[in-house]
Amino acid sequence: MLVTAVSAEAQSPLEQAVVLARQKRYAEARKALEGAVEPAGLTQRIAFHRLKAAVASGLGDSATAANEMRSALALAPGDAGLQTATAAAELQAGLLDDALTHARAGGNTAAGQALIGDIQEKRGQYVEAVKAYQAAVALEPGWEQFRIALALELVQHYTFEPAIAVLEQAAPRFPKSARIRTLLGVAQYAAGRFDEAETAMTDALTLDPDLQPVYGYLAQAAFESPSAPPDRTLRTICSRDAEGTACLVLQSRAARAEGDAALLAQAVAKLKRTPEDSAVARCELGRVYQATGQLTEARTELETCVRLDPSPQNHYHLGLVYNRMGLVDLAQKEMELRHAAEERRSEDAARRQNAVQAFQYLIK
């Protein structure tokens, strides 16, 4: 350690800077360092530059932080820990080639490989980033964060099935990890595996009910699932807000699937009071009215639904209502709009799938 405990009265500017930096009072620490004299010993000089780097980093001055770490490294160029720390500072400063050189020189550790993965991701070298994260996992299989980094890299570049495989392998190894289950649910949702996504995200919220954003992801997966939500998923979503739109829509779907007329009527009454610009509420009401033969009400709700969310499925339902009402021209137009929406969606999916396949080929 650069400084041991000293009384406030005896503190030198350097000692004051150390205390202030530990308290994250970086602006005051930098001011104290202006009056500090660089120590004489090698170890103390290295620590001095590392302190200045930490203060600069705390103030968001990444360029100065990188320069101070380079000064520290120049005093002990063979120190693997300093190589890695310098690489981390250079990454923050955007000095990616230098960061990669120093990270590789820092030794084959899990943390070092993960840092290389971060650098390669910033350089746009996605395959090399995956390889580095895989190496980190192999070196430290018991560390959750390396598996998450690997899976996240795969998800970010649309390689969902490999990401799912990584996370499914990780889940039993880390039975208390809500983060792994959340990311697994996101990957499954992106891959169109909605029921599995619901299970994974419900598991995540069971482990950590305070993960507020996950409720939204879970609701979206449940909305897009072709089946009614499982009771466990419904209870989880409604536990957050029993009168919220997500809860009411899913209660309506569950009631329709179970043939529970009383629960359906209760949900519909509440959905009518939701904001007019809620697409999921308007679409659900439209489908309820469509199923019960209330065609005028179904038309009103589904026209709003399609305006807010012009998906192929919503155009299809509105077209069916028009057809049942004898509005043949309007029904035909909706089916044409449905076809056009499906083509747009197919084109987007094809472009994404081509990129995914190319990436998968490279990492085999």
Domain boundaries, the chain: 1-79, 271-345
Task: Please write the tens of the pLDDT for every residue from 326-338.
Answer: 999 999 999 999 9
Which residues 6+ apart lie within 8 Å of 180 measured at CB? 144, 147, 148, 151, 167, 170, 171, 174
User: Residue 209, by phi and psi: left (phi above 0), alpha (psi -120 to 50) or beta?
Assistant: alpha
What is the reported pTM?
A: 0.80
Task: Please write the tens of the pLDDT for every residue from 263-319.
Answer: 999 999 999 999 999 999 999 999 999 999 999 999 999 999 999 999 899 999 999
Q: 364 by DSSP, 3-state: which?
A: coil
pLDDT at 226: 85
At residue 15 the predicted structure's pLDDT band, cuts being 50, 70 and 90, is confident
Q: Which two tokens stand for residue 54?
A: 């930490």
pLDDT at 341: 87
Task: Please write the tens of the pLDDT for every residue from 195-214.
Answer: 999 999 999 999 999 998 89
Answer whether residue 127 shows pLDDT above 50. yes
354: how many CB neighbours lie within 10 A of its CB? 11
89: how many CB neighbours lie within 10 A of its CB? 29
Q: d(Cα 349, Cα 169) in Å, to the nearest integer?
A: 27
The rounded Cα 85 to chain-centroid distance in angstroms is 26
pLDDT at 349: 57
pLDDT at 361: 40
Least confident residue range of 17-21, 121-125, 177-181: 17-21
Answer whether residue 9 shows pLDDT above 80. no
Q: d(Cα 97, Cα 87) in Å, to the nearest integer?
A: 9
CATH code: domain 271-345 is 1.25.40.10
Answer whether residue 11 shows pLDDT above 80. no
> What's the whole-number mean pLDDT along residues 160-169?
95
Task: Please write the tens of the pLDDT for every residue from 230-253.
Answer: 999 999 999 998 999 999 999 999
Closest CA to 311 of 283, 273, 352: 283
Q: d(Cα 34, Cα 14) in Å, to the nearest integer?
A: 9
Answer whether residue 359 shows pLDDT above 60. no
